[in-house]
Amino acid sequence: MDITFIMRYFWMITLTFSMFEANVQCQTNDRRAFPDGFLLGAASASYQVEGAWNVNGKGESHWDFITHNQSERISDRSNGDIACDSFNKYKEDVQWIKSIGLDHYRFSLSWTRILPSGFNDTTNPNGIRYYRDLLEELKVINVTTVVTLYHRDHPQALENLGGWRNERMVQWFEDYAKVVFDNLGHLVDIFIPINEINALCADELNDTYKPRGNGLDDMGEYACIHNGLKAHAKVWHLYDKNYRATQGGMIGFVSSSRGWVPSEGVTEESIDRYFQFRCGIVMHPIFIGDYPEILKTRIGNISNLENLPESRLPEFTDEWKNIIKGATDFLGLNHYTSRLPIFDTSEKLGVPTSDSGIIEAVDPNWSTASSQWLTIVPEGIGNVLRKIRDEYDNPALYIFENGFSDTGETEDYARIKYHYDYASEVLKATVRDGCNVKAYTVWSLLDNFEWYYGYTQRFGILKVDFDSPNRTRSEKLSTQWLREVIRTRTLIEPPAPSGTRSGSCEFIHEETEKLVEKL
């Protein structure tokens, strides 16, 4: 036999076995299994998707008022009057949820669809019926129902009275929650009283979508957070005392967060202060019983420099500390992006420019989504999860928002890559580092109205044609990818754009197939 042929054959066999071994290793790396019981789902919010802003007895919300009377604040001067028309298309949305195979669906209720005036003097049976119908449809397909009582769209009538800056909002919110628990609680698996009160108060009252005036945090922001924490705690105790035994659900606290990564000027001290001002301001009262000491000290000192009679950060009484501490079944986390927290050097001159004294820098090498604030830094979410593990004794944690914006592409490779990278970090933190993460939720199920950005930014895994009267839904590439991830319960490597390779593993798969054909 020709020795050259034998050598060539031996070389091909050896290389093929090597490629097979590499191929198996790639499959192990690229298909990371989710833990048993881990939930994979998607989310939406009432004003952003429902539409039907003034039908069937619904009252005017704060966001109805903003978009109708202050449209210059919205990037494209749009509104949520129709949005995704989910009020009329909820059955279709449920079928999409079934098609994708979501474990859970998070959505919110419109306060004014249930209590048109904002008060509990008159309930709207049409609004209650709508949400009951939606929840019953979700129960039919065996989806875990996650319901947010309040996601930014409070009644305009209450905003006229000061909104979340008014302490009476605590009682008004509890009254609203009781109506919901009485009428819908038996259909809800997980309740979230208020969505990310820290982001709500900063965005709405300090208008952080635009440059701030003097750079110092506003008194209204802290009053808003203070009242929001009280309202959350009262509603948690209401459910715990009167409804948990018969309805069997959970009710938890949800906070927004931003992460961080190592860099020049980023220190353990700057990271901790950044975390406390961003997250600790709401997490500390829930898990520890009061605001972080660094907040009380700095805001108190700066308030004194401003010649104010008292700190802009309110104080909790001992009674309220006891009510708020422990008032949650879990910690919910919304996370999108990270920053480089660096101490403001101007403070060395004794001139504070913010209550935190932290500058949120951005690495110019970071990629961004179509939302310029959304820098893509996957490692940041893992750092947040580990910080929460260590700071608050590793609470059960549900990631209830994580998402990527583009301009509506159907072949949304970048969105898949974002979710793959972020979910990979979540799995590392969970499996390797022992963080007690129970769920990962994609924001959002549908392209929708994105607050001050209107329809200029699209986060959905389902495309919505806003030029169509029917608001037609259609699949994106991310729809198909998430469906397969959920079906296999593994985190699958992102597909590559046409004409490119996603990485060495794809190359190995292709070359292995070629060698097999030759043999």
Positions marked catalytic: 196, 401
> What is the DSSP secondary-structure string of 391-444?
HTT---EEEEE----BS--SS-HHHHHHHHHHHHHHHIIIIIT---EEEEEEE-
Q: Record the tokens describing residue 432, joined without a space.
A: 């390797």
Residues sharing a CB contact under 8 Å with residue 161, sequence separation 6 or more, in sequence order? 168
Cis peptide before 78 (omega within 30 of 0): no
298 close to 276: Cβ distance less than 8 angstroms: no
State the SS3 of 261-315.
Answer: CCCCCCCHHHHHHHHHHHHHHHHHHHHCCCCCHHHHHHHHHHHHHCCCCCCCCCC
Q: What is the SS3 assignment for 241? A: helix
414 close to 455: Cβ distance less than 8 angstroms: no
Q: Report angle CA 185, 281, 360 to the nearest 5 degrees.
A: 120
- Identity of residue 81: D
Rounded to an integer, what distance in angstroms lies between the CA atom of residue 371 and that of residue 357? 25
Rounded to an integer, what distance in angstroms lies between the CA atom of residue 111 and that of residue 180? 9
Q: Which stretch of DSSP H or E encloses residue 96?
A: helix 86-100
Q: Record the tokens describing residue 35, joined without a space.
A: 């833990």
Expressed in angstroms, the distance from the first to the final Cα of the chain is: 18
- Identity of residue 479: T
Q: Which stretch of DSSP H or E encloses residue 104?
A: strand 104-108
458 close to 405: Cβ distance less than 8 angstroms: yes
